Amino acid sequence: MRASFVMERNFLILLSGIFINGIGGGVYAVSGMMLVFQLSGSVIYSGFAFFALTLASAMAFLIAPFANYVTYKKGLIGCEALKFLLLFTIPLFYFTVGLNVFYVILILFIVALISQFSYPIESTIMPIIVGKENIIKANSYFQTVREGMSIVFVAGAGILVVVIGPVQAILITAICHVLSSITYLFFTFQQEKATERPVIGQLVTTYTNDLKAGIRYIQDSLIPKMIVSIVFINFAMGVMMPNMPAFALIKGNGSEALYGFYLAAISLGIMIGAILAPRVKKFSFGLLTIVSFSITGLLWMGAAALPAVPSLIFFCIGTISIGILNILMFSSIQQQVESAFIGRVLTVLTSAASIGMPFGSLLGGYIGETFTAIVPMYLCGIAMIIFSLSWLFNAVLRKLPKIDEAKLFPARPVTETNFEKSL
């Protein structure tokens, strides 16, 4: 099974779910933010919407520990079904009692919170399905498929939103969540029994211990040395992303379809990065990060200044570094962390890294509304260069060897007996 994991039943089921969600997610990525922008007519509200989305990521550490008390299969099926019900209310209310921009933002927030519950489950089952020795290849494969689908469907979604409208497009996303929920019914992999649900007092104690376990696991690792610069870069991304709908309208002379093309450019860049990740892992991880993100900064400043077509090309190429870093970091964590701790470690790390993005989105909405949506693009490009310089002047990060040899986490036995079972 390990040698031919691509044809393994559970791998194909998970891949099918990702494919279906790739269709819905591509449509949702365009229609959700564009609906907020259309209902409000203001970048400020786009900033509020992106604040809600990214705040959910920052709150992952509060949500994910509850995944301990469900089986992987039931957790994934339930999350997809709940997303359908919530998203379905948007077209339902639109065609009946009317739709309020704040309600749309609230639904975006809740759906994002549900994703924080399912994310550690998906991360934990991957080593079970493919084996730790195949993690980098499997993640690269999944990321390539996910972003490949995103390129097609996000680009198409921009046109779809123009033709049928963002509300009807969101209904398509809701239907995709139902289909992925049905797909996950066919999982057959083995897992240990979910942790028994405790009474309220025990729940609070266990919940707190789960969070502490994840924090303790990373405190002696290299992660704290990276986290400040990662928070900074996410803050900068938060400044840029709420302005993307308005930025695309400027570059496209009022065409809403171009927003989908910019999101597709992000997906294409991340996909190329995912494809390149297994090939560039032989290079020093520290220097690879420094060089690639400095190039990203220059390209994104060029994207802000150039007309639509070269702007899209520069923006896409600049995103490749993000795809490489994501795969190498994610795979390293899955390889070096005991399976019982993967979900907790990823949750703590993701929450910490995401904390800057919600506040960046509020500032980005203000900057875009006060000046122009092009200014945040320049600022984000400058931030990428500052990020690379922060690694350059940090001896530990600069000297990191190739990712397979970089010991991000010290080897240790699992001594916390309360957490011997996986999620």
DSSP secondary structure string, 211-256?
Answer: HHHHHHHHHTSSHHHHHHHHHHHHHHHHHHGGGHHHHHHHHTTT-T
CA distance 308 to 363: 25
The predicted-structure confidence for 309-319, as pLDDT tens digits, reads as follows 999 999 999 99
415 pLDDT more than 50 = no
- In the chain, the amino acid numbered 60 is A
Q: At what angle do helices 200-219 and 223-240 cross, to 10 degrees?
A: 100
What are the contacts of 200-205 at 24+ separation with CB within 8 A? none
pLDDT at 90 over 70: yes
Confidence band for 2, pLDDT divided at 50, 70 and 90: very low
- For 210, 262, 280, 400, 410, the CA distances from 289, given in Å and listed in that order, are 31, 23, 11, 10, 22
Most confident of 12-16, 117-121, 130-134, 302-306: 302-306
> What confidence category does residue 234 fall into, taking pLDDT thresholds of 50, 70 and 90?
confident
Which one is predicted more confidently, 154 or 300? Answer: 300
Question: Looking at residue 420, what is its pLDDT?
Answer: 39
- 138, amino acid identity: A
Task: List the single range of 59-73, 83-97, 274-288, 369-383 with lowest mean pLDDT.
Answer: 59-73
Position 192, amino acid: E
Average pLDDT (199-210) is 66
Q: Cα separation of 12 and 397, whole Å?
A: 37
In this structure, the chain runs to a length of 423
Say if residue 342 is exposed, middle or buried (CB neighbours under 10 Å; 0-12, 13-18, 19+): buried
Residue 106 has pLDDT above 80, yes or no: yes
Interatomic CA distance for residues 408 and 405, integer angstroms:
9
**C-alpha count within 13 angstroms, C-beta hemisphere, residue 408:** 24
Judge residue 338's burial from the number of C-beta atoms within 10 Å of its C-beta, 0-12 exposed, 13-18 middle, 19 or more buried: middle
Amino acid identity at 371? F
> How much is the pTM?
0.74
Question: Which is nearest to 156 in space by CA: 24, 20, 245, 272?
Answer: 24
Cα distances from 366 to residues 46, 240, 360, in angstroms, run 10, 11, 10
Q: Which of 242, 181, 229 is nearest to 42 (CA)?
A: 242
Give pLDDT tens digits for 112-170.
888 877 777 777 777 777 776 777 777 777 767 766 666 777 777 778 887 888 899 89
Could you give the CA distance from residue 63 to residue 330 in angstroms, rounded to a whole number?
20
SS3 call for 281: coil
pLDDT band at 423 (very low <50, low <70, confident <90, very high): very low
Average pLDDT of the residues of the chain: 82
Taking 60 as the threshold, does the pLDDT of residue 354 lie above it?
yes
70-83: average pLDDT: 87
Q: In this predicted model, which residue has the larger pLDDT, 418 or 138?
A: 138
Which whole number is the average pLDDT over 334-339?
Answer: 73
Whether the predicted pLDDT of 60 surpasses 80:
no
Asked whether the beta carbons of 334 and 349 are under 8 A apart, the reply is no
Question: pLDDT band at residue 68, thresholds of 50, 70 and 90?
Answer: low
Residue ranges per domain, the chain?
A: 5-187+196-202+211-410
Which stretches of 41-100 are DSSP H helices? 43-58, 60-63, 72-94
Q: Look at residue 416 and tell me whether its pLDDT is greater than 80.
A: no
> Of 419 and 378, which is predicted with more confidence?
378
- CATH architecture of the domain 5-187+196-202+211-410 equals Up-down Bundle (1.20)
What confidence score (pLDDT) does residue 11 get? 82
Tell me what pLDDT residue 384 has: 95
- 178 versus 260: the higher-pLDDT residue is 178
292 confidence band (pLDDT: 50, 70, 90)? very high
Residue 373's alpha-carbon distances to 155, 315, 369, 404, in angstroms, are 21, 15, 7, 40
- Work out the average pLDDT over 220-240: 85
pLDDT of residue 10 exceeding 80, the answer is yes
**Distance, CA of 3 to CA of 131 (rounded, Å):** 9
| Per-residue confidence (pLDDT) for residue 3, from 0 to 100 | 45
Mean pLDDT, to the nearest integer, of 1-29?
A: 74
Q: For the residues 290-311, what does the mean pLDDT come to? A: 95
Residue 387 has pLDDT above 80, yes or no: yes
Which structure tokens are listed for 42?
């203001």
Structure tokens at 245: 């709908």
pLDDT of 277 higher than 80: yes
Q: Identify the pLDDT of residue 93.
A: 94
